[in-house]
Amino acid sequence: MKNPLIVKYFFLIGVFTFTSHSLLAQNCQQKLKLANKYYQEGKIELIIDLLQPCLAQQKLDKKQILEAFDLTSNAFYLMDSINQGAHYISSILNRNLTYKTSPDRPYSFKNELFEISQRPQTQFGLEIGLNLSSVHLDDVFNGVFDLNTAQTIGGIKVDNLISEVKSEFGMSLKWIFIRKIGIRLELESGIGIQKINYNYLDNYKGQKTFISITDWQVPVMMNYRLPWLLEGNTINIQLGTVLRVLNNWDQKQVSGSILSLDNIRTHFNYDFALGIFLNVKTKYFIVRPRFTYSMGLSSRAKKLSWDQNIKYIYNSPSFVNYNNHFNHFSISVALLKPKFK
Compute the Cα dihedral for 87, 92, 97, 101 and give only its sign: negative
Q: In order of start, what are the domains of the chain with their CATH numbers? A: 4-117 (1.25.40.10), 122-339 (2.40.160.20)
pLDDT of residue 145: 52
Residues 6+ apart with CB under 8 A from 320: 211, 249, 251, 261, 264, 265, 300, 312
Query: How confident is the model over 18-72, as pLDDT tens digits?
Result: 444 443 456 888 889 999 998 999 899 899 999 988 888 777 888 999 999 999 9
pLDDT of residue 53: 87
pTM: 0.82
The 8 Å CB, 24+ separation contacts for 202-209 are 202/161, 202/162, 202/317, 202/318, 203/156, 203/160, 203/161, 203/162, 203/163, 204/153, 204/154, 204/156, 204/161, 204/162, 204/313, 204/318, 205/254, 205/317, 207/254, 209/251, 209/252, 209/253, 209/254, 209/317
pLDDT of residue 316: 54
Of residues 212, 272, 207, the one with CA closest to residue 238: 272
Query: How confident is the model over 273-295, as pLDDT tens digits?
Result: 999 999 999 999 999 999 999 99
pLDDT of residue 276: 97
Residues 6+ apart with CB under 8 A from 231: none
Query: How confident is the model over 290-315, as pLDDT tens digits?
Result: 999 999 877 766 656 666 665 665 55
The span from the CA of 138 to the CA of 321, in Å, is: 9
Please list the ranges in the chain whose pLDDT falls under 50: 1, 14-24, 254-257, 317
Of residues 45, 130, 65, 35, the one with CA closest to residue 328: 130
